[in-house]
Structures are given as C-alpha cells and as structure tokens.
Amino acid sequence: MEAIRRWARRYPAVKLAHVDDAVHTGALWVFIPADDPEFGLWGVDVICISQMVRHEPAVFFLYPDALDELIAALRALHADTHRLRRRRSVLHTLRFRTK
C-alpha cells in the first residue's frame, strides 16, 4: 500500500481514502478520475486494495450521477455521526452531573 501512496503523490487528481475491509484490516480506496480531453470528466475508477494480500482488489466505476449519490450519502452519514456523537457526549455529561 505504501507503493500506491507514493504513486498517488505523482498524480494530484488521484485521491486516497483509508477504510477497513470486511475482516477489519486496513484497506485503501484509490479514486482515479476518468478524464478525456474531448469529453471531460466522465466518471471515477475506484480500486479497493486490502492489506490482506490474498484478497483481489475490488474495482468499480462511478459515473457522475453515481458519484454525486455517493457523496450525498457520505455527507448525510457524516452529519448523522456528528449529531449522534454530540448527543451522546451531552447525555454522558448529564448522567455524571446527576450522580
């Protein structure tokens, strides 16, 4: 995975995201824009590379609409996660104050 990180540094359009795979080991999502000089950006190739070498990389393609949907879903999850964290920390504080 370090080789992928070094390779990605040479291409600023390539983005990386660190995730855990199905067996809770580190994995890397590599987002590679599919850009054509004539047509512009027509999607993003995504490669999921697991730390577990026995797993083949998962590869999929996101057309612009699918990319928008993924971004919207991640933003919604991000907002929900932060709202729940704030609520839990407030409830946690209230529990300790009442004891």
**Average pLDDT for 1-18:** 93
The verdict on 7 and 40 lying in the same domain is: yes
Q: Check residues 15 and 84 and name the one with the higher pLDDT.
A: 15
Q: Check residues 4 and 39 and name the one with the higher pLDDT.
A: 4
pTM over cut 0.85: no
For residue 10, pLDDT beyond 70: yes
Q: What CA–CA distance (Å, rounded) separates 48 from 65?
A: 20
The verdict on 52 and 9 lying in the same domain is: yes
The verdict on 11 and 56 lying in the same domain is: yes
Question: E strands, 5-65, where?
Answer: 15-20, 26-36, 40-50, 58-62
For residue 39, pLDDT beyond 80: no
Residue 23: pLDDT band (50, 70, 90) is confident
Domain limits at 30?
1-62
Count structural domains, the chain: 2
Pairing status of strand 15-20 against strand 58-62: unpaired
The verdict on 53 and 8 lying in the same domain is: yes
